[in-house]
Amino acid sequence: MPPSSRFRLVPPSWLLLWFAVALFAIFQHGPMPLYSTRTLAVAWEMWDQNQFLVPHINGHPYSHKVPLLFWLIHAGWAVGGVNDVWPRLLQVLIGAGWLAAAAALARRVFPLRPAAARLAPWFLVALAYPFLFGLQIMYEVLLALTVALTLCALCGRPRWGWFAVALGAGLMTKGPVMLLHVIFPFLLGPWWSEHARADRRGWYLRGALAFAGGIAILLAWALPAGFAGGEAYRNELFFLQTAGRVVDSFDHARPLWWYLPMLAVLLFPWIGWPRLWRAVSTFARPLGDSERFLIAWLLPTFGVFCLVSGKQVYYLLPLLPGAAMALACALARQQARGASGGRRWSAWPLALAVFVFALLLALLPAWLATGHLHSHWLHDASRLSAWFAVGFAALGLLLLLPGEGEGELHRIAGTSLFGVALAHALFAHALFHNFDLDPAAALLARAQSETRAIANVGQYEGQFHFRARLRGSIDEIRVGQIGEWARAHPDGVIVRYPSRLDPRALRYALLIQPFRSRWLEVWSAKALAAVEAGQTPAEPAQRTALYPPDYWRYGTPVERDDDGD
């Protein structure tokens, strides 16, 4: 078998390493609210209602997202039934596909610089933020995959048919924002592409047809969905969503400069590697087509995202393969000049940061004993922090091992990957109870089986629908509407999220559990209405369920006057 065939059959080591670590990490805990639970809620309602054209959430059309990710979840459910294993496995597969597509893009961008193409995937797999965010059942990693595939079809000899298909898939993943990620490399094609320079007219004509083909894929769904979802859904889908985020964001509005400090978050751990600082600082001309492509892609796209009103760190995920290629190009040029950087350009800042973090984890229980630890997050983490400190100290020692060249790059990438997975494991085992909605979902599932109405105080984000397999909608009410709703639904249950734990809840609520930095309480409607009216509710038939049952933040539970349950 030729070597090229063996390479195609055996995945590269960086991909196998990332896949194994991600597969382990994503099953450490259940779906995270509110991102993963909301995605699963929409997929569940579409599945339950046999409504695959228009996404729904809490009984209403959901105009915020287009349906490709939901359809991929449904494909797995059609084979194995409704479960939360397939969506998580799907997310890992999408992430692996993104890394593989980014590596293929690097080979097409650097056809004459195999060293840069070889280094780029290692830069990408080590990034902490995309690894952690990729554990969410969300749309951005799938969008990043389609962006990489679209640009793969654009680079080298353009393959406009595949460009249209990949573009359409991106539009079906996140809507028109997909266009922002690929339009500038296309418009600036003659500056960086030999094929565009040789046939400018053909480049723009065929490219315009490919863009039209991708948009036609989106319209093939959007037009019938818009009419099926009704006028309000149609207006939100075609006008309010994109315009609202671009011009004057109704969600995640940030100042113009907000993304600049976020670059340090996105590029960690590489911002702590002095050898890379030196490679970037000594980068000099000439600029070839490869560098020009990266400039044509990254700079104008990043600039437009800075101008867009709505901002989130994960909006920039599709740009990270370009950033990884830029770093790989700088390091490859340094290697070509024979400037290895020596031992003084080793990974000591990263090792120092890891040792400091390990020391803080080791000292956390002692800090708790002084009585000066007031954050419940640190209090919860202190139960296991000393054990994890040992693991981080070992990773710090690994970073200090001697070595230069690509071996040092591989060691930093592997250490970063294991370090992020270790931090995630600490979260899963020490902190996830603040996000675990299974107890509340189980109670709401029982309420639904008893045909009891359910209300949520404040905006409901679909966090219970999938876990409880709810059918129908949960009513959204305000605090002042509790009494009115209870009179209309005397057998109903109400979920609320107070910032402080009311001692009366420990006596009269059906269930209490921590939720983020607040509390989650489930009440019978009559009992909560009585408490809100300043009255004493009737004694409940059962004691309040507490999750976790021995959680320190509950204090001393209120004693019952009777000898009942």
**pLDDT tens figures, 193-214:** 999 999 999 999 999 999 999 9
Contacts of 200 (CB under 8 A, 6+ apart): 190
Residue with tokens 């702590």: 272
Distance of CA 314 to the CA centre of its chain: 7
In degrees, rounded to 5, the angle at the alpha carbon of residue 275 between the alpha carbons of residues 273 and 281 is 105
pTM of the full structure? 0.93
pLDDT, position 346: 76
Other Cβ atoms within 10 Å of 289 Cβ, number: 18
Closest CA to 94 of 58, 139, 43: 139
Closest CA to 127 of 98, 105, 148: 98
pLDDT, position 150: 98
Residue with tokens 């290692």: 122
pLDDT, position 251: 57
pLDDT, position 9: 62
SS3 content of the chain, % helix, strand, coil (to 5): 65, 5, 30
Other Cβ atoms within 10 Å of 254 Cβ, number: 15
Residue 528 CA to residue 532 CA, distance in Å, equals 6
Residue 369 CA to residue 129 CA, distance in Å, equals 33
* Pairing mode, strands 518-524 and 493-496: antiparallel
User: If DSSP states are collapsed to H, E and C, what string results for 186-206?
Assistant: HHCHHHHCHHHHHCHHHHHHH
Q: The tokens of 487 are what?
A: 């009179």
Q: Which helix (H) or strand (E) holds 133?
A: helix 128-133
pLDDT, position 432: 97
Q: The tokens of 448 are what?
A: 């639904």
CB 18 within 8 A of CB 123: no
Residue with tokens 């406009």: 160
DSSP class of residue 319 equals: G
CB 372 within 8 A of CB 399: no
Contacts of 275 (CB under 8 A, 6+ apart): 331, 334, 341, 345, 346, 347, 408
Residue with tokens 């259940």: 30
In terms of phi and psi (left: phi > 0; alpha: psi -120 to 50; beta: otherwise), the region of 475 is: beta
Residue with tokens 């309420």: 447
DSSP bridge pairs for 494: 455, 523
Q: Is the peptide bond before 34 cis (omega within 30 degrees of 0)?
A: yes
Q: The tokens of 374 are what?
A: 């007031």
Distance of CA 505 to the CA centre of its chain: 34
pLDDT, position 294: 97
Residue 64 CA to residue 62 CA, distance in Å, equals 6
Residue 99 CA to residue 126 CA, distance in Å, equals 11
CB 440 within 8 A of CB 463: no
Q: Report the number of secondary-structure helices (H) and strands (E) in the chain.
A: 28, 8
How does 327-338 read in b/e, with b if 16+ C-beta sit within 10 Å? bbbbbbbbbeee
- Helices 385-399 and 406-430: angle between axes, nearest 10 degrees: 180
Residue with tokens 């053909």: 202
Residue 501 CA to residue 178 CA, distance in Å, equals 44
Residue 443 CA to residue 522 CA, distance in Å, equals 8
pLDDT, position 562: 44
Q: Which helix (H) or strand (E) holds 524?
A: strand 518-524
pLDDT, position 6: 44
Closest CA to 163 of 217, 91, 114, 121: 217
pLDDT, position 561: 46
Alpha helices in 230-347 (DSSP H): 231-235, 241-246, 259-266, 274-281, 289-307, 320-336
In terms of phi and psi (left: phi > 0; alpha: psi -120 to 50; beta: otherwise), the region of 346 is: beta
Closest CA to 26 of 93, 88, 106: 88
The values of phi and psi at residue 60, to 5°, are: -125, 150
pLDDT, position 436: 97
Residue 159 CA to residue 438 CA, distance in Å, equals 47
pLDDT, position 44: 98
Please state the length of the chain: 565
Q: The tokens of 315 are what?
A: 């909006």
- State which residues of the chain have pLDDT below 50: 1-7, 245, 247-250, 345, 560-565
